Structure 1
Amino acid sequence: MAQAPWAAILIARLGSGWRRPSPLEPQPSRPENLAKVSVVVPTLNEAQRLQPCLEGLMRQGYEVREILIVDSHSQDGTAEMVRAAQHRDPRLRLEFDPPLPTGWVGRPWALHTGFCCAHPESEWILGIDADTQPQPGLVASLLQTAQREQLDLISLSPRFILKTGGEWWLQPALLLTLIYRFGAARAVETQPERILANGQCLLIRRSRLEAIGGYQVAASSFCDDVTLVRAIAATGARVAFRDGSKVLKVRMYEGMAETWREWGRSLDLKDATPAAQVWGDAYFLWAVQGLPLPLLILGLMALALTTPTLPLEMATLLNGLLVLIRWGMTLAIAPVYDWQSGQGRWLFWLSPLADPLAALRITLSSWQRPKQWRGRTYSADTQPLV
């Protein structure tokens, strides 16, 4: 009785998956789109990850007017790396953001600085994270999709690069917490409070950003991408979230422990979501993702050891259905991973065993705001201490 309503909601959410838009394909540049996009890349001590991002951005076509690297005074040679690359592509510009104001998180502050520094004739602002690897035709594909479908904002899910067995086991379970909660992507998102976005690659019409004062609405958010996109969608903008696995790769974290610690802190989306919805989603995850496999095993053991009853049989059947759905979702997300690299790839197929951990991570994260984020330490009121 506790699980059945949530299972029905899950099936309804996933039911539209067969109608989800196709993955974006790389596109050639078009002359009419010359210099319409300013790219903003926020950085803080990204020297170990930035080079593939720079290389990918420099391979983009002439839609890109400029590539602004907004550095938060890195100490690891990030700025020197950008200066060296500037000799190869004049579109690269290095900017340093001012000291972080009270109430701001570092990433939205750097993005806001880039937005303010962008050329006034650029019609679009593209936020790109330093850990991404843009593929040829990415910007052209984003821009042409936005123009064709009259979108004001479009973000992409990437192809994930995993390198250790622990990542292959845990990361898919964490990723699926998003799909369980938000379902398959639609052609155009219509419910601002349920919109999902990915700030790793986020193209926004400049006029929409100007109308809300840039990134200020997401100043104190540790999930600034979702906070920003929901605020823009609430103004009537046309917003979409698409599969970008053919045009964008990302290497997010190094190892299972960092994936658990860093990604898990923002997956609850509490900074963009009412508290009741946060805890409702946590309960939902336990009901349909975290508990079905353990409950199925217990139910089968009980059926073998005791006299079967109708409630026990129905509960076991329901949890069996939920486990089958989970394995189907495992197959569905397999194409969003880079299967050419990494060790222990076979553990991906055992990721359903990590579902209780994934539900636990979302629950733990829902209790408190992060105190450390992207190399900075924050107090409870989001005032930077370091």
Structure 2
Amino acid sequence: MTSATGRWLVRAGAALAVASLGLTVDNLRRIRTPSPSPDVADPDDVVLLLPVRDEAGRVVDAVQELVVAARHWPGRARVVVLDDASSDGTTTLLAELAGRADLRDVLEVVPGTPTPPGWLGKPWACHQLAGAAGGAGVLVFVDADVALTADGLTATVDLLRSSGLDLVCPYPHQEARGPAERLVQPLLQWSWMSTLPLGLAERSPRPSLTAANGQLLAVDAAAYRRAGGHAAVRDQVLEDIALLRAVKASGGHGVVADGSRVASCRMYDGWADLRQGYAKSLWSAFGTPAGAAGVTALMVLTHVVPALAALRGSRTGLAGYAASVAARALVARRTGSRVLPDAAAHPLSVALLGALTADSVLAHRRGTLRWKGRPVEVSR
């Protein structure tokens, strides 16, 4: 690489970092946030839907939190839990919860059936849950590792209705405790906050202008049915994003929101768990291996190249690095994550995400990906 090419790459990367910072600032101004004191005048019937598989360490707390949230809802609300062939004691714990007299008015536990050909496990579990929801007006899907606040359901459904949208995903605060988690997990919110124009995304039908999070996802039941429900995304690893795309394709609208006040989530516990979790999905996040390579290269150009140039004394590189850190810090401050020193290590975070993406693509090609004992691909 010539010195002229190197200087051009640094300038291009720095310019992209500054543009990304500008978009981040604009998104922080317009991002939707659940109201801290929602006033629900005409409450829908709501069902909280929780799929669980081998969650013995978390399922009791998860169910109890959802029950509390359901009872805070001013209208009729139920909690339906699907046991997806658990083998670690989850089934016994759910049976005990379902048998409690104080929970019978609000809690239903249903057994899952074997995943049929053409389906992945998570979409099939959600499809069964939606079928058990009856005539509810709003379906709220929640993952077992999400801790929902007492007013989290009310705030989430109020956001759905007050915004006039068909689907909203209040993004939970992502808990990160160890070094690997602190490097990678904050990138979840930063990634869409710094690249996706939210004002355009929530109204545009374009698939590329879509971000969602199935950890906490509220959808109008009629819009869900028009979109084909989870049957329309039965073979998708990232079924949350695919579901929002299906809603958009059927004439609906939706977007991610800042849910850091109403929910929190610790997705992974340490490096090994994190690596396995990202391996199962990153290969599909960008459409094709070529797409993954292209996006990774663009992220490295924008957030790593200027930082490396700054270490060699480049003022342009320093400006680009400062813009990257500023965007990361602003998102962290908004979502309750650590600001410093974590944001200062942003180039390292992006480089690690690139490595995890390559790891995921290679594992998918080898056919070695599994999650909770099942292959991460559909059976035919």
TM-score range, shorter chain: 0.7 to 0.9
SS across alignment from 2:110: strand
| Greater shift in the superposed pair: 243-252 or 12-21 | 12-21
- Per-residue deviation, 1:346: 6.4
Q: AA paired with 2:244?
A: V
The answer to whether the 8 A contact 2:24-2:195 is kept is: no
Match of 2:80 in 1: 68
In the alignment, structure 2 segments of 5+ residues that lack a partner are: 1-7
Q: Which residue number in structure 2 is paired with residue 382 of structure 1? A: 378
2:216 is aligned to 201
CA distance in 2 between counterparts of 1:332 and 1:264 reads: 28
1:83 is paired with a residue of what secondary structure? helix
* Percent identical: 20
Deviates more, 1:361-370 or 1:192-201: 361-370
Letter in 1 for 2:356: R
For residue 185 of structure 2, give the secondary structure of its aligned residue in structure 1.
helix
Q: One-letter code of the match for 1:59?
A: V
Question: 2:111 aligned with 1:101, yes or no?
Answer: no
Q: Deviations over 1:191-217 (max 9, x none)?
A: 332210000001111112212322022
Distance across 1 between alignment mates of 2:40 and 2:85 = 36
Relative distance call for 1:115 and 1:371 in structure 2 (3 A) is: farther
Determine whether 1:355 maps to 2:333: no
Gap change, CA 1:239 and 1:221, over 3 Å in 2: same
**DSSP 3-state at the match of 1:118:** coil
Query: Alpha carbons of 1:371 and 1:174: their partners in 2 closer, same or farther (altered >3 Å)?
Result: farther
Q: Which moved more, 1:328-337 or 1:169-178?
A: 169-178
CA drift of 1:267 comes to 4.0
SS of equivalent to 2:57: coil
Paired residue total: 359
Out of 357, 360, 366, the residue aligned to residue 365 of structure 1 is: 360
Which of these residues, 15, 20, 30, is aligned with residue 20 of structure 1?
Answer: 30
Counterpart CA distance in 1 for 2:200 and 2:368 is 34
What amino acid sits opposite 2:235 in the alignment?
S
Q: Look up the match of 2:48.
A: 39
Residue of structure 2 in register with 1:53 after alignment: 62
> Which of 256, 263, 270 is matched with 1:241 structurally?
256
User: Which stretch shows the higher mean deviation, 134-143 or 48-57?
Assistant: 48-57
Residue deviations 1:319-378 (CA, integer Å, cap 9, x gap): 222211222123213242467xxxxx9653453233311222224334553744431332
User: CA separation in 2, counterparts of 1:159 and 1:294?
Assistant: 30
Q: Determine the C-alpha separation between the residues in 1 that align with 2:139 and 2:186.
A: 30
1:246, distance to aligned residue in structure 2 (A): 0.5
Separation in 2 of the partners of 1:20 and 1:263? 29
| 8 Å Cα contact 1:105/1:219 also seen in 2 | yes
Partner Cα separation in structure 1 for residue 324 and residue 81 of structure 2: 40
Equivalent of residue 158 in structure 1, options 172, 181, 186: 172
- Report the Cα distance in structure 2 between the residues aligned to 1:262 and 1:156, rounded to whole angstroms: 21
1:356 and 1:187, CA in 2 relative to 1: closer, same or farther beyond 3 A?
Answer: closer
> How large is the Cα RMSD of the aligned pairs?
2.8
Q: Which amino acid in the other structure matches residue 183 of structure 2?
A: W
**Unmatched tracts of structure 1, length 5 or more:** 301-315, 340-344
Which letter maps to 1:193?
A: S
Counterparts of 1:43 and 1:136, CA distance in 2: 21
Superposed counterparts of 1:1-386, under 5 Å: 1-2=8-9, 4=11, 7-8=15-16, 10-11=20-21, 13-14=23-24, 16-21=26-31, 23-27=33-37, 30=40, 32-33=42-43, 36-60=45-69, 61-62=72-73, 63=75, 65-86=77-98, 87=100, 88-90=102-104, 91-119=106-134, 121-173=135-187, 176-182=190-196, 188-190=202-204, 191-267=206-282, 269-270=284-285, 273=287, 277-297=291-311, 299-300=312-313, 316-335=314-333, 336-337=335-336, 348-352=342-346, 353-367=348-362, 369=364, 371-378=368-375, 382-383=378-379
1:11-50 C-alpha deviation (Å, 9 max, x unpaired): 564352243235323445746315x111111111011122
TM-score (norm 1): 0.83
Q: Which moved more, 1:85-94 or 1:369-378?
A: 369-378
Structure 2 partner of 1:306:
none
Instruction: Evaluate the alpha carbon distance shift between residue 209 and residue 216 of structure 1 in structure 2; reply closer, same or farther with a 3 A threshold.
Output: same
- CA deviation profile, 1:186-243 (whole Å, cap 9, x unmatched): 6834233221000000111111221232202221111111111112112221212100
SS in 2 for 1:266: helix
- Please tell me whether the aligned partners of residues 25 and 246 of structure 1 are also in contact (alpha carbons under 8 angstroms): no
Cα gap change, 1:122/1:22 in structure 2, threshold over 3 Å: closer, same or farther?
closer
- TM-score normalised by the chain length of structure 2: 0.84
Deviates more, 1:10-19 or 1:140-149: 10-19
